[in-house]
Amino acid sequence: MEKDFYTAQELAEKLQVNIMTIYRYIKAGKLKVYKFGKEYRIDKKTFSQFLHQNTYGKQKP
């Protein structure tokens, strides 16, 4: 079964950044999340949109 969500830790590993960077993106409102108790979950589609919005340089058509 494929997961539809990432944890903050999984995103940090995927992007090769410190988990605090992910938490700063969340706090700044740059990354929309679902919060369950003290845990955050990031929808895969939302993450894909986040990457697309934060892409620099020219895109090939």
- Write the DSSP symbol of residue 42: E
What is the set of domains in the chain, with CATH numbers?
5-53 (1.10.10)
Q: What is the structure's pLDDT at 59?
A: 62
Tokens of 42: 């990031």
What is the pTM assigned to this prediction? 0.81
**4-60 tens-digit pLDDT:** 999 999 999 999 999 999 999 999 999 999 999 999 999 999 999 999 988 877 666
- Write the DSSP symbol of residue 7: E
Q: What is the structure's pLDDT at 7?
A: 96
Q: Please tell me the distance from the alpha carbon of residue 42 to that of residue 14, in angstroms, as a whole number.
A: 13
Handedness of CA 30, 8, 20, 33 (dihedral sign): positive
